[in-house]
Chain A
Amino acid sequence: QQKVQQSPESLIVPEGAMTSLNCTFSDSASQYFAWYRQHSGKAPKALMSIFSNGEKEEGRFTIHLNKASLHFSLHIRDSQPSDSALYLCAVIPGYQNFYFGKGTSLTVIP
């Protein structure tokens, strides 16, 4: 079964900093890779996804994927207090079954 691990478990950064979150997976045949964000007491919400090796940028968020090293990451430029949340990575084999990591708890201090 697919194993998905996130690091670090928690992170505290000052406002304006660059934040980097990591996710490793075990099945190199996986097709889609996504990040979800969950504010406290709220539902997870999709942030970004990628399916081919490389980089994708949307606003302050950039996702990197390297299938050969079984790793993808999320980078947040100019982190804001409103970015404080639980960040979940998801690996999707390609038939709609999602495997989520345990999450990284991010706190951005003003």
Chain B
Amino acid sequence: DAKTTQPTSMDCAEGRAANLPCNHSTISGNEYVYWYRQIHSQGPQYIIHGLKNNETNEMASLIITEDRKSSTLILPHATLRDTAVYYCIDADAFRANNLFFGTGTRLTVIP
């Protein structure tokens, strides 16, 4: 069963920031928050991960609340190519076989 909760779908206007929320209220102290995305008929693509500090890379920013029970993935300037299913996963980085991909959030970027 999924340990995270995400909205089923979201829309975002092209050029605007896309903010994708995720609840992970049962996350444990050694579990990271990972975000992946899957464009139709392709393999999932790693986006970003974090433990407790906010993180930023060339693709996105990750904001984790102080109690670590929720996080937000931010795509600062969404493009049509960002249309995909986004998965939020909490997992222990030091155990293999620990990523559970639920149904994610289907983000549609609208022209």
A interacts with B: no
> Interface of A with B (CB < 8 Å)?
none
